[in-house]
Amino acid sequence: MKYLTEYRDAELVAGVMREIKRVTTRPWTLMEICGGQTHSIVRYGLDQLLPPEIELVHGPGCPVCVTPLEQIDRALAIAARPDVIFTSYGDMLRVPGSNRDLFSVRASGGDVRVVYSPLDALKLAQANPEKQVVFFAIGFETTAPANVMAVMQAKNLGLTNFSVLVSHVRVPPAMRAILGSPSNRVQGFLLAGHVCAVMGYHEYPPLLETYRVPMAITGFEPLDLAQGILETVRMLEAGQVEIKNAYARAVTFDGNQPAQKMIQQVFMECDRAWRGIGVIPASGWCLRPEFDDFNAEKRFDVGEILTQESPLCIAGQIMQGLKKPHDCAAFGKQCTPETPLGATMVSSEGACAAYYKYGR
Ligand code: SF4
């Protein structure tokens, strides 16, 4: 299949791996930002093909994993209301809140439905005018265009029974938080190709200048990832601090400008708590006040939310590149995909789920 088969060619990947080995003279720690990249790396065993000097640590780019516990508990409270149809991508249903998850709300009679797009939730609102339909709008820059489009459509249609519970996060402020931490180990970044396809990469040069860390925009297939690693190692070995675009078939410097414009019309920057990590300034997108009518947080008063995270879970440290899933005492014991203690064991982009699924 075009754009898949050729990027999974084992011979080509082996050739890039040989080149990585040839150019590597000393230890380097690289972080892949995106959970989708983590899964590809672990699934295809790329980390095991690398020379021992290259360590990959896994970043916070899993939207389900970083959605704050308070927002999940809020979602659970809204979903339990009898007047609500609560809609979400499937990944979120098993993410543990303080005491339960969306599946258990559904088992107790809540109307919780999986949708594949926020526009499906919009259709549900049109078809069920007697109900309030809420969409759990989580994600990075990648899912933002579809979510803002749903809000715009709802406004254009004059819908009064549709709202979104927003928990959007942005990559550059998270990278700034990681790089600015005294415990940072990351020397080079593989940037998330799909985020850059939407946003371009004009937001990254200031990070480059401040922290002097090279970056390669990287795709998701094994050859993409191997190429991104090679570009980053080459820059590190040569003392270059640049941004290389190793995903040029999808990414341009300016990105998708109509999508960016639409995002700016509906969202504004806000501080956001990242699960396990804490509040990162200006790292989120929230609805602008003119869209308050579609803001589920304003529409539903769910009272005070007291969160309780599992004391065993070290997902926050894993997503900052400080620990690996194996370092967690609960990994594969108290915490499995069937009995997850943290979101990184649930999501299809979570590092703990990747290590568990592919037997590491
Ligand atoms: S294995 Fe489970 S408890 Fe441990 S860090 Fe991962 S999600 Fe948290």
Pocket test residue of 335, 346, 355 for ligand 1, highest count of atoms within 8 A of CB:
335
Which residue's entry shows tokens 């993409």? 224
| Alpha carbon nearest to ligand 1 atom 6, residue | 352
- Pocket residues: Cβ below 6 A from ligand 1: 312-315, 318, 325, 328, 330-331, 335, 341-342, 344-345, 352
Q: How far is the CA of 317 from the centre of ligand 1 (A)?
A: 10
Q: Which of 194, 290, 214, 298 is CA-nearest to residue 30?
A: 214
| Alpha carbon nearest to ligand 1 atom 3, residue | 313
Sequence-ordered alpha helix ranges (H) in the chain: 10-23, 35-43, 46-49, 63-66, 69-79, 102-107, 118-127, 144-157, 171-180, 193-199, 205-211, 222-238, 257-266, 296-299, 315-319, 351-357
Per-residue pLDDT at 359 exceeds 80:
no
Here the tokens at position 77 are 């409270």
Q: Which of 291, 295, 285, 298 is CA-nearest to residue 156?
A: 291
Q: How far is the CA of 153 from the centre of ligand 1 (A)?
A: 38
Q: How far is the CA of 314 from the centre of ligand 1 (A)?
A: 6
Could you identify the atom of ligand 1 that is nearest to the CA of residue 331? Answer: 1
Here the tokens at position 207 are 């990070």
Pocket test residue of 62, 327, 352 for ligand 1, highest count of atoms within 8 A of CB:
352
Strand 215-218 to 188-192 pairing: parallel
Of the chain, the percentage scoring pLDDT greater than 90 comes to: 89
Asked whether 174 and 272 are in contact (CB, 8 A), the reply is no
pLDDT tens, 94-137? 899 999 999 999 999 999 999 999 999 999 999 999 999 999 99
Question: C-alpha dihedral over 9, 12, 14, 20, to 10 degrees?
Answer: -130
CATH 3.40.50.11740 fits 1-360, yes or no: yes
Q: How far is the CA of 344 from the centre of ligand 1 (A)?
A: 6
Domains of the chain: which residue ranges?
Answer: 1-360
Query: Apex CA 292: angle with CA 291 and CA 293, to 5°?
Result: 90
Strand partners of residue 162: 133
Q: How far is the CA of 99 from the centre of ligand 1 (A)?
A: 16
Give me the phi and psi of 272, to 5 degrees please: -140, 135
pLDDT tens, 152-205? 999 999 999 999 999 999 999 999 999 999 999 999 999 999 999 999 999 999
pTM of the entire predicted model:
0.92
Q: How far is the CA of 305 from the centre of ligand 1 (A)?
A: 23
Looking at residue 213, what is its pLDDT? 97
Q: How far is the CA of 235 from the centre of ligand 1 (A)?
A: 33
Could you count the other beta carbons within 10 Å of the beta carbon of residue 229? 29
